[in-house]
Chains A and B, each alone.
Chain A
């Protein structure tokens, strides 16, 4: 159980185009989903917190108009990188959290490699 998928696994796009990445919790309902970004040989940096039916909460320094997040259901969140530029090239990873009592558990997706030409 507790499987999180991401689609696509890798995408190459031209500068100026927009790219949508999907994150799905396959066998559980996620109260919250998180989007992380990872540069080569670096740690995961949280970009935003996504709650179903409400606006996402963005970390300091992350442009909300650049990285649009939609959390349409308890099993799906999408991240759209708008007007992508080469510096947006990165590994984007989502995690889906579920709560049981006072404990929260996060399960990570396999990541999406974005390359902007």
Chain B
């Protein structure tokens, strides 16, 4: 079945540093989604990518949809303490159902 492999599993960085995480898939995806989850909360959508090669920004966040459609990365520039949380990549499982498959998550900790 479909699987999403996300790396790194965790990161501990200094405030102000840039962060990069990526997600790879064993199969082609037509959509890539990046979510952030704060402790005790549900995931919140950060960026949605719909086209191979697409590069999209949301403030200090930038994500790209790989041209092979089997990978995506998320960059966070100039990290701040509130960036702390778990970041998940996700893609649709099946067609047009809203059903998602998630990566394992990247736990980000930022030292002030």
Known: A46-B99, A49-B99, A97-B97. A104 touches B44 (CB 8 A): no
| B98 located at the interface, meaning its Cβ lies under 8 Å from any Cβ of chain A in the complex | yes
* Size category, B interface: 20 to 34
How many Å from the CB of A14 to the closest CB on chain B?
23
- The distance in angstroms between the C-alpha atoms of A43 and B92, with both chains bound, is 15
| A99 located at the interface, meaning its Cβ lies under 8 Å from any Cβ of chain B in the complex | yes
The one of A31, A43, A103 that contacts B88, using a Cβ cutoff of 8 Å: A43
Contact between chains at B88 and A111 (CB < 8 Å): no
Contact between chains at B97 and A46 (CB < 8 Å): no
Contact between chains at B93 and A46 (CB < 8 Å): yes
Q: What is the 8 Å Cβ interface bit string for chain A, positions 1-34, against chain B (1 contact, 0 not)?
A: 0001010000000000000000000000001101
The one of B44, B45, B103 that contacts A43, using a Cβ cutoff of 8 Å: B103
| B43 located at the interface, meaning its Cβ lies under 8 Å from any Cβ of chain A in the complex | yes
* Size category, A interface: 20 to 34
Q: How many A-B residue pairs have CB under 8 A?
A: 62
Set of chain A residues within 8 Å of B67, measured between Cβ atoms: none
Contact between chains at A104 and B103 (CB < 8 Å): no
- The distance in angstroms between the C-alpha atoms of A25 and B110, with both chains bound, is 33
- The distance in angstroms between the C-alpha atoms of A4 and B44, with both chains bound, is 11
| A93 located at the interface, meaning its Cβ lies under 8 Å from any Cβ of chain B in the complex | yes
Contact between chains at B42 and A109 (CB < 8 Å): yes
Q: What is the 8 Å Cβ interface bit string for chain A, positions 79-103, against chain B (1 contact, 0 not)?
A: 0000000000001010101110011
- The distance in angstroms between the C-alpha atoms of A6 and B42, with both chains bound, is 10
How many Å from the CB of B21 to the closest CB on chain A?
14
Contact between chains at B98 and A43 (CB < 8 Å): no
- The distance in angstroms between the C-alpha atoms of A42 and B104, with both chains bound, is 7
Residue numbers of B with Cβ under 8 A of A are 35, 40-45, 50, 88, 92-93, 96-105, 107
Residue numbers of A with Cβ under 8 A of B are 4, 6, 31-32, 34, 41-46, 49, 91, 93, 95, 97-99, 102-111, 113
